[in-house]
Amino acid sequence: MAKAADYGLGPNTFPRGWFVVAESRELDNGPIGVTFFGRDFALYRGESGKPVMLDAYCKHMGTHLAKNTSAMIVIAGVGGNHIEGDSIRCPYHGWRYNAEGDVDDIPYHDGPCPKSASIRSYPVVDNMGCIMMWFDEQGESPDYPPPYLPQWDEAGWIHWDLDHLPELDIHPQEVLDNMADNRHLGPTHGAPCEYFENEIKDHILIQRQGGPMTLYGGVMLYTTTWYTGPGILLSKQVWGETVQFELIANTPVADGRIKAWHGCLIKSASGEINDEEKATAKAIQAGALEAFSKDFEIWQHKAPAIKPMAMKTEGPFLNNRKWYGQFYAEKSAVASIQSPLNGSYHVPGVETPEDRNHAIDDGLPF
């Protein structure tokens, strides 16, 4: 299992950015415990509806705040309340942590609560059916807002229910490599691209491409795909009369291990979302997942490509890896990494989006 240091990333072990850590509906039944970035977290929805994410363990005696179903304080209506407002009580002794991670009440103590009992709170949002957290090893505030599709809140779009994929022993660097890899689209997906481009805009990496889908009679697929930071991919896809957005999220569980999610936001053909349209959308998402699973199976069984033998006609791997490195760098170095990389990159012998009148970018957030 290759780690960040093997790829020359650093000095941080984990990338800085927005990451999916749960599906929104997972919080409907109370707090959950999750593990990402080599550490444990308590994740819950406060009474205001706001999601809250804290380090998992109470400083008092090390109790996990979210992994308990039997303590009397956790059982509804018995012994008290586990969630009070946007705060959570420890199931062992009832110490209450607020959304900022500070202890603000100890049931059997009248004096000031110890500051030393505070734990770290993380920026987290409920966004497009996902719980997204901002992670930064130094604990600094977000550099940019989380990715968002305005279509999510527009009428006539059928929302995804996320596909939860198994954890995978691969470094996310290799997942991001797909953004430059135009030559795998034919052998792996049966949709060889006829034109291709990467564009870098600071923390956003864009791929534009199009080609025939052999499994669908050669129907042309046009896609504009982008990463907002290192962990969340969105892709606008147009084929035939179908318009959809695909989400693929990867979040480090440990150094060299990830968890992934997948979903599709589908435009209703009729504008009215009924059971038939929902069934069609579900089938489209299943087809998109099948296509993504081809990458996933390859990742399950490949050796790390620490120094890929990339051909110039395969895509701008080096530039994309440099772009990815900004999320492991000190914040003071980020601007100097971004500035020389910003711009568009093409592949020798492959047509460009401009050559093929790639005109699906209207309304996209870059």
Lowest-confidence segment of 124-128, 139-143, 314-318 by average pLDDT: 314-318
The whole-number pLDDT of residue 1 equals: 83
pLDDT at 25 exceeding the cut of 70 = yes
The whole-number pLDDT of residue 80 equals: 64
Mean pLDDT of 107-123: 96
Q: pLDDT tens across 304-334, in order?
A: 999 988 888 888 999 999 999 999 999 999 9
Q: pLDDT tens across 151-188, in order?
A: 999 999 999 999 999 999 999 999 999 999 999 999 99
Classify residue 306 by its DSSP letter.
S
The whole-number pLDDT of residue 216 equals: 83
pLDDT at 254 exceeding the cut of 90 = yes
Mean pLDDT of 142-147: 97
Query: What crossing angle do the helices spanning 331-341 and 317-325 adopt, rounded to 10°?
Result: 160
Give 234's contacts (C-beta < 8 A, 6+ positions apart).
Answer: 147, 149, 225, 226, 228, 245, 246, 247
Between the CA of residue 125 and those of 166, 221, 291, what are the distances in Å? 23, 32, 29
Domain 150-345: give its CATH code.
3.90.380.10
pLDDT at 302 exceeding the cut of 80 = yes
- Predicted confidence band of residue 47 (pLDDT cuts 50, 70, 90): very high
Q: pLDDT tens across 333-348, in order?
A: 999 999 999 999 999 9
Q: pLDDT tens across 60-83, in order?
A: 999 999 999 999 999 875 656 799
Q: Is the peptide bond before 11 cis (omega within 30 degrees of 0)?
A: yes
Looking at this protein, which amino acid is placed at residue 361? Answer: D
Longest dimension (CA), the chain: 74
Q: pLDDT tens across 266-289, in order?
A: 999 887 899 999 999 999 999 999
CATH 3.20.20.70 fits 17-135, yes or no: no
Radius of gyration of the chain (CA): 22
The whole-number pLDDT of residue 79 equals: 58
Mean pLDDT of 239-248: 94
The reply to whether domains 17-135 and 150-345 share a CATH topology is no
Give 71's contacts (C-beta < 8 A, 6+ positions apart).
Answer: 79, 91, 92
- Return phi, psi of residue 4, to 5°: -55, -40
**Percent share of the chain, pLDDT over 90:** 90
- Predicted confidence band of residue 89 (pLDDT cuts 50, 70, 90): very high
Question: What is the secondary structure of 14-37 as a DSSP string?
Answer: S--EEEEEEEGGGGTTS-EEEEET
Q: What is the pTM of this model?
A: 0.96
Domain residue extents for the chain: 17-135, 150-345
